[in-house]
Structure 1
Amino acid sequence: MLTMQANGQVRKPTPCGPVPTENQLRWQDMEMYAFIHYSLNTYTDQEWGFGNEDPKLFNPSHLDCKQWASVCKQAGMKGIIFTAKHHCGFCMWPSKYTEYSVKNSPWKDGKGDVVRELADACRAEGLKFAVYLSPWDRNHPEYGRPEYVTYFRNQLRELLTQYGDIFEVWFDGANGGDGWYGGANETRKIDRTTYYQWPETYKMIRELQPNCLIWNDGSDRGDLRWVGTEAGNVGETNWSLLNHDGEVTWPMLHYGLETGDSWVPGETNTSIRPGWFYHDTENEHVKSLSKLMDTYYKSVGRNSTLLLNFPIAPNGRIHPTDSLRGIAFNKMIHEVFKTDLAKKAKINTQGNTTIINFKKPTAINRFVVEENIRYGQRVKKFALEALVDGQWQPLKDELVENGDGLTTIGHRRIICFPTIKATQLRFTVLESRCEPMITRTSVYLAPELTADIPDSGEKRSSGLHYYFSNPKEMMIDWDTEQTITSFRYLPPKNTREGLVTHYTLWASTDWANWTKLAQGEFSNIVNNPIWQTIKFAPTKARVLRLDADRLAEGDRMTFGDIDVINQ
């Protein structure tokens, strides 16, 4: 927003409190990027290695960083942060400062460099690249002593000078404890506020990578903060502010600090699985589509970014279940936000109130609002109301447990509410630190994922996963590519509502290229609602899409059961 002075010159708005740097603005616009956890832990079935694991365990059969980058891009990620060194101290690049690295593994006869391969793969896919370097090292004999800090900085220098542009450096908050420590097998504790001498380390980072952001949750404030949980959510109130000095409490991490003197926005990190590293026992516990969407609304939709982890399996690839779920997640985000219903409405703004007038009663369930954070975060509280059947009714965020949660906005705020048919929507800023600078008010109708799907977000029928990308489009996927010959549909019992009478069936192996398998009518299905079979030539597929071209009644597809027949 620009204003005119009396002399006709354009005047920039006055900043309101702390404001983001250009680096922080670019980072916030990324919105979603991936974590990749991969190390010796992958082969020992651990989350934290002790530091004495044998480097010879690292010998993946099909390590493919191009696959990682391709999956992450298709999942909507704008970059990748890679665990170059986790707490066990094993380096995924051939560091010249230690023997505990891939150079002493059987993989590629010790000539490999995972960091290099991933950095190159990211740039080939147009993704940004970043590194995670654990300050804690359970392998190094000098950890806890001054000599280790020099070692740590030397390794950081390698990562910042040998792999091109780095958009973020991620320093884990786990510091000190028991470890192998070169054979000492003891517990070492450090003063995390002074031991690493962060100011000097930060200075080096900014000199070597001036566009890089620093993630650190300690008393030495970085550019970004942890949000106090790995569950995938930040507070419904979320200020991008903290104080530059002093320790932070959990509420400060989770909600920010309205009176903070520095711009330190929150980054929401979580894994697509229960753990950060791959475990076979978690193959059936990959987050459902509904859970991923809930995470999106509670991170990107609450003035944060989303750092979503994809663990690498022992063969050196992202597991098919994880990749398919991630790609479906991105597809659903695009499905939800593809049509801004406000663009076809008449919008009036007077003072701090904006009214969106629809041409007719319109079904809606999502509201998006954004501030121009370049000049600071301003809004403290707002109201959202809908005119339904001639009566104004307040709308609350259904994802907030207590209260309506209509507080801060920041880069983006998404309000989710039950579907209603409204003729008008009224947005009003109630409290603000300075004059509000609202840059977007958008309205959407999201598919109702929970209508036919249990709380887990998906149903397993005949070993299949399914979800609805819109009310008349069903996606069915499974873990591995198979050759299939027919698809079966059982209509719902005792109802014509949502029963499919005419269909088109599509198949894909990569979610990008689709082959039409069949198109037609389920003859007499209304009068005789039994299993219907669609047969086709043997086809390789990993996912099917069933389009309901016509329904007996209603506007949303339903079914009793589904099945896919393999060759």
Structure 2
Amino acid sequence: WAITRKMQPMANIFSDIGPDIRWVGNEDGHAASTSWATFTPMAPDGKNAAVPGQANYPQSPEGIRNGKYWMPAECDVPLRNGWFYHANEKPKTPETLFDLYLKSVGRGAGLDLGLAPDTRGRLHENDVAALKSFGDMVQHTFQNNLAKNAQITASNCRGKKYNVSKLLDNNRESYWATADDIHQASLEVYLKVSKTFDIISLQEYIPLGQRIEAYSVEVFQNKAWRKVYDGTSIGAKRLIKLDKPITADKIKISITKSPVCITLSEIGVYRTTN
């Protein structure tokens, strides 16, 4: 690792013990639904030291809350069934790749998609087509935040510098925050007109760490609030995929557990688009 640090100091080194990013513990391309960016590499039972290939990788999908190191997960998965090209295999569909995106990037991790050149040394046309459609799906889904003109009210705010307008300014360097002694709070997002959506995006302000430990999402329908999601971690990004599209004009996000005051950088509301 020393030569990497010397020659490419900004490079992230990956293994099941980090030191910068950790293997997620599977090759299926997804992190656990609860996903902490902190981790403590430990030797498995019967071993004296944690080294690459010999560590506590079963804990990697979820991470370790308050782990010793900031070591987000990287989710590696091949585009085809295996890591090498075989003519009898087909690439994953754009819909499958999009689902993997939601369960990796959308759980605060990175997606490492393995591409295998064919016998010509080029990516097969089927692979290129699948990747193009996947990219289009991501771009078209997230290019229009349905909440961009919403009115947001908060149960608590730290002050003008940290008010709710920061949640819709598309700037990850700004954030809404609560006062020091407020560890629970709610946000009501009024869309002004009813809109149909199936993805809600939340982002914490990561320079101050991963704070939120429990939250819920409700929608206002038939003159009443209805809970549609319970969650734990948020982190750098949480993409909440609802079971089916919902039409509503109000969304409530209730943060119910945090060891310190709450920070949230961005909120987004989207509709999956092919």
TM-score by length of 1: 0.40
Output the amino acid matched with 1:420.
Answer: I
Does 2:95 match 1:297? Answer: no
Query: Which residue does the alignment assign to 1:338?
Result: 143
Distance 2:87 2:195 in 1: 46
Where does residue 410 of structure 1 map in the other structure? Answer: 235
Identify the residue that residue 13 of structure 2 maps to in structure 1. Answer: 214
Q: What aligned pairs does 1:132-151 form with structure 2 within 5 A after superposition?
A: none
Q: Work out the CA distance in 2 between the residues paired with 1:339 and 1:289.
A: 20
By relative contact order (CA 8 Å, sep 6+), the higher-ranking structure is 2
Query: Offset at 1:374?
Result: 1.2
Please identify the structure whose Cα radius of gyration is greater: 1
CA contact (8 A) 1:346 1:357 kept: yes
Matched, 1:329 2:127: no
- Cα displacement (A) at 1:245: 5.5
Kindly provide the CA deviation profile for residues 481-500 of structure 1, in whole angstroms up to 9, marking residues without a partner as x.
Answer: xxxxxxxxxxxxxxxxxxxx
CA contact (8 A) 2:35 2:62 kept: yes
Shift in Å at residue 342 of structure 1? 0.8
Correspondence 1:443 to 2:269: yes
CA displacement 1:182-233 (0-9 Å, x = unmatched):
xxxxxxxxxxxxxxxxxxxx23321222111111114xx4211011111111
Q: Counterpart in 2 of 1:364?
A: 197
What does 1:527-546 align with in structure 2 at a 5 Å threshold?
A: none
**Matched AA of 1:249:** N
Matched residue of 1:354: which SS? Answer: strand
AA paired with 2:233? T
1:52-86 CA distances to partner (integer Å, 9 max, x unpaired)? xxxxxxxxxxxxxxxxxxxxxxxxxxxxxxxxxxx
SS at match of 1:306: strand
For 1:189-208, what aligned pairs fall within 5 Å after superposition? 202-208=1-7
1:17-32 superposed matches below 5 A: none
The aligned runs of 1:388-403 (5 Å cut-off) are 388-396=221-229
SS, match of residue 300 in structure 1: helix
Report the residue type matching 1:439 in the other structure.
S
1:167-186 correspondence runs (5 A): none
- Aligned 8 A contact 2:41 2:56 in 1: no
- Corresponding position: 1:258 with 2:65: yes
Equivalent-residue separation in structure 2 for 1:289 and 1:244 (angstroms)? 34
**TM-fit CA distance, 1:290:** 1.1
CA–CA distance in 1 between the matches of 2:250 and 2:81? 42
C-alpha deviations, 1:278-308, integer Å up to 9, x for none?
Answer: 00111xx210111011100000000001111
Q: Find the residue that maps to 1:258 and give its secondary structure.
A: coil
Give yes or no for contact 1:267–1:306 (8 Å, CA) kept in 2.
Answer: yes
> Quick check: 2:13–2:21 contact (8 Å CA) kept in 1?
yes
Alignment of 1:9-158 (within 5 A): none
Whether the aligned pair in 2 keeps the contact of 1:301 and 1:413 (CA below 8 Å) is yes
Question: Mind listing any 5+ residue stretches in structure 1 that lack a counterpart?
Answer: 1-201, 397-403, 448-468, 470-567
Q: For 2:215 and 2:208, locate their aligned partners in 1 and report how far apart those are by CA, in whole Å.
A: 19
CA contact 1:389–1:422 (8 Å) conserved in 2: no
| Corresponding position of 1:473 | none
**Following the alignment from structure 2 to structure 1, what is the Cα–Cα distance between the partners of residues 58 and 65?**
12
Preserved CA contact (<8 Å) 2:81 2:91: yes
Q: Write out per-residue CA displacement over residues 371-396 of structure 1, whole angstroms, 9 at most, x where no aligned residue.
A: 11112111111110000121211113
How much does 1:244 deviate? 5.4
Counterpart of 2:138 in structure 1: which amino acid? I
Q: Give the % identical residues.
A: 29
Aligned AA (1:444): Y
Asked if residue 233 in structure 1 is aligned to residue 58 in structure 2, the reply is no
Following the alignment from structure 1 to structure 2, what is the Cα–Cα distance between the partners of residues 430 and 280? 51
Equivalent position to 2:56, from 245, 249, 254: 249
Q: Secondary structure at the match of 2:210?
A: coil
Q: Counterpart amino acid of 1:372?
A: Y
Which structure 2 segments of 5+ residues have no match? 44-49, 157-184
User: In structure 1, the residue corresponding to 2:147 is in which secondary structure?
Assistant: helix
Alpha-carbon distance in 1 for matches of 2:71, 2:191: 38
CA distance in 2, matches of 1:286, 1:204: 36
